[in-house]
Amino acid sequence: MTYFKEIKKGDGPKRLFIGGVHGHEGFTTIKALSQISDRDVKNGILHIYNFDESPYISTLDRHYYTSNIGIKIVKIIRDLKPEMYIELHCYNSNSFEKLTDLNRKERTGIPPLIHLEAGVLIGSISPYIRTSLFDEWDVCITLEIPCKASKEASDVYLKVIRAVASSGNKHELLDMLRVDYPEQVETAARYAIELYWDSYPPL
Ligand SMILES: [Zn+2]
């Protein structure tokens, strides 16, 4: 079942959290997204969507954005114009090495995902939408959890989602993430600079 929730708390950034981007991922991502409530949101607006099953097409494949679900997500982003965007994904544990492989950029053109802890991975979003639908200083995060997640992984996943909900801008978010993940934030910054030669910020 498609899930939607809107939380409004006066002035502040527009945030968009999306799960169920492709395949069966919505069955995993709904568990985290359904736990986000009004008290998690600092200010501004949060829209949460979680989608049903759809054919699996990678978001690194440009055809994703001409599929029904891809078109729907692009429209949601264009309509809301969020300054903070999280795409929630899940992965088969066998793919951990592939997703975090330091040679991923040579293979796929995009940097590896960064391991936070307990199998939770963080990275930027598909280059097909990062530069065309978002501004340089927007927060754009891909968050991955094993589809069969442990309690520890679920807690980390939710902690990062809540950090985005409760920070007012990119600086606040990075400060929050640096407390637990200083090296990972530094790596994300380096990857962003390598990927976008201009001064794109981390995430
Ligand atoms: Zn995915």
- 158: domain CATH number is 3.40.50
In this predicted model, what pLDDT tens digit does every residue of 83-132 receive, in sequence order? Answer: 999 999 999 999 999 999 999 888 888 899 999 999 999 999 998 999 89
How far away, in angstroms, is 90 Cα from ligand 1 center?
A: 6
Instruction: Indicate whether 99 belongs to any domain.
Output: yes
- The domain of 35 spans 3-195
**Taking the model in full, what pTM does it have?**
0.94
- Alpha-carbon Rg for the chain in angstroms: 15
Q: How far apart are CA 6 and CA 17, in angstroms?
A: 10
The rounded Å distance from CA 71 to ligand 1 centre is 16
Q: Has residue 202 been placed in a domain?
A: no
How many Å apart are CA 189 and CA 70, to the nearest integer?
27
Residue 11 Cα to ligand 1 middle (Å):
32
Is residue 86 in a domain? Answer: yes
Lowest mean pLDDT among 77-81, 107-111, 121-125, 192-196: 192-196
Residue 10 CA to ligand 1 center (angstroms) comes to 32
The answer to whether position 61 is within a domain reads: yes
Q: How far is the CA of 117 from the centre of ligand 1 (A)?
A: 18
> Domains in the chain: how many in total?
1
Let me know if residue 203 belongs to a domain.
no
Q: Is residue 200 a part of any domain in this protein?
A: no
- Taking only the tens place, the pLDDT of each residue in 129-180 is 998 999 988 999 999 999 999 999 999 999 999 999 999 999 999 999 999 9
